[in-house]
């Protein structure tokens, strides 16, 4: 049976504490001949020292780099990824993969062929610093779709795998600004192809104080984090800015139904009455009822 070429993209930054566990779990996958491309984002700890232990392994390539931040570092990795890779796998530095993480995803992705842009993402098992299970991420109530991707990211980056068609589509022109690389990928593939959400987890997602953005195991922690981020961003409309960037890059090539959704989201909220009318439309939505209510209120308040 043919084994497709798979390349894992890992961006590291001051990740010495958990990096060995992650690397070993990737190298111990039951899927053969996985290539790993690592870009270090200007670490100041012993991350590069840990990585050097793996530099002699045939399928591991390590690239030291300047600090770009998580989003730009992952997009840089995508630029550096092999154009011959049939599947590109995104990876975080502090998780642990179950041995069939890649093989399960590839078995699902292979059903869709090579011409349509396809993205796989999944649920995660949330663990503490010592890998004790403390919960699981929520399963989306509705199917992945462009109307959701415009205003919410359900694709945890460390679970994302894209096929070559999606890889080449994203690389046609990278965004100058995006909230997160995984959210951007979800938008692109949901607009032009197929997004698959796997309700089974094949990854231990480590929750700790160093996570930049993470899943929360309790409703209190989720809302505390959302409130903190909302107050921090002030009146900057990051979601709208990202949608406008998406329109600049892909607006003219979008399928008509997606193009109309995007145009209405950007243009119909420029006045108070417009926002009021748009708030009662259902073509853009978040996954939970409570989130959706808050989303509608924020539209009216012009805070999206």
Total Cβ atoms within 10 A of residue 169: 20
Q: Percent of the chain scored above 90 by pLDDT?
A: 86
**Is residue 20 in some structural domain?**
yes
In the predicted model, is pLDDT for residue 217 greater than 60?
no
Between CA 92 and CA 208 the distance in angstroms is 13
**Is residue 146 in some structural domain?**
yes
Read off the pLDDT of each residue in 56-85 and give the average, rounded to a whole number.
96
Q: What is the pLDDT of residues 88-147, one digit of tens each?
A: 999 999 999 999 999 999 999 999 988 999 999 999 999 999 999 999 999 999 999 999
Q: State whether 48 and 137 are in the same domain.
A: yes
Please report how many Cα atoms fall inside a 13 Å half-sphere around the Cα of residue 93, on the Cβ side: 25
Q: State whether 79 and 12 are in the same domain.
A: yes
Q: 89, exposed or middle or buried, with CB in 10 Å at 0-12, 13-18, 19+?
A: buried
Between CA 155 and CA 4 the distance in angstroms is 23
Between CA 134 and CA 127 the distance in angstroms is 5
Domain extent at residue 286? 219-300
Q: State whether 197 and 240 are in the same domain.
A: no
What pLDDT shows up at residue 214? 54
Q: Which tokens sit at 71?
A: 């989003």
Q: Give the end of a domain, one of 148, 175, 206.
A: 206
Res. 194 pLDDT band, cuts 50 70 90: very high
Q: What is the pLDDT of residues 224-277, one digit of tens each?
A: 555 555 445 445 689 999 999 999 999 999 999 999 999 999 999 999 999 999
User: How do 203-206 and 125-127 pair as beta strands?
Assistant: parallel
Q: Residue 118 carries which DSSP code?
A: E
pTM: 0.91
Q: State whether 16 and 87 are in the same domain.
A: yes
What pLDDT shows up at residue 212? 47
Q: State whether 189 and 238 are in the same domain.
A: no
Q: Are 119 and 106 in contact (CB under 8 A)?
A: no
Structural domains in the chain (count): 2
Read off the pLDDT of each residue in 186-208 and give the average, rounded to a whole number.
96
**Is residue 257 in some structural domain?**
yes
Between CA 158 and CA 272 the distance in angstroms is 39
Q: State whether 155 and 74 are in the same domain.
A: yes
């Amino acid at each position: 049976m043919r084994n497709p070429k798979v390349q894992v993209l890992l961006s590291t930054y001051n990740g010495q504490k958990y990096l060995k566990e992650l690397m070993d779990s990737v190298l111990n996958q039951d899927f053969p001949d996985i290539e790993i491309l690592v870009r270090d984002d200007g670490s100041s700890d012993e991350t590069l020292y840990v990585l050097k232990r793996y530099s002699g392994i045939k399928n591991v390539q390590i690239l030291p780099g300047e600090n770009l931040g998580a989003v730009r570092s992952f997009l840089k990795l995508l630029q550096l990824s092999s154009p011959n890779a049939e599947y590109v796998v995104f990876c975080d530095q502090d998780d642990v993969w179950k041995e069939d993480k890649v093989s399960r995803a590839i078995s699902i992705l292979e059903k869709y062929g090579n011409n349509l842009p396809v993205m796989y993402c999944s649920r995660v098992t949330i663990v503490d610093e010592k890998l004790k299970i403390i919960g699981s991420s929520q399963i989306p109530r509705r199917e992945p779709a462009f109307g959701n991707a415009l205003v919410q990211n359900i694709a945890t980056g460390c679970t994302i795998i894209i096929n070559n068609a999606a890889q080449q589509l994203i690389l046609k022109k990278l965004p100058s600004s995006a909230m997160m690389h995984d959210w951007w990928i979800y938008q692109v593939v949901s607009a032009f192809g197929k997004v698959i959400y796997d309700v089974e987890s094949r990854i231990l997602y480590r929750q700790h104080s160093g996570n930049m953005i993470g899943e929360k195991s309790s409703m209190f922690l989720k809302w505390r984090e959302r409130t903190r981020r909302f107050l921090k961003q002030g009146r900057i409309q990051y979601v709208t800015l990202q949608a406008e960037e998406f329109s600049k890059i892909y607006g003219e090539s979008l399928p008509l139904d997606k193009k109309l959704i995007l145009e209405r989201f950007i243009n119909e909220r420029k006045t108070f009455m417009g926002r009021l009318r748009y708030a009662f439309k259902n073509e853009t939505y978040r996954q939970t009822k409570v989130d959706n209510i808050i989303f509608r209120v924020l539209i009216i308040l012009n805070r999206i």
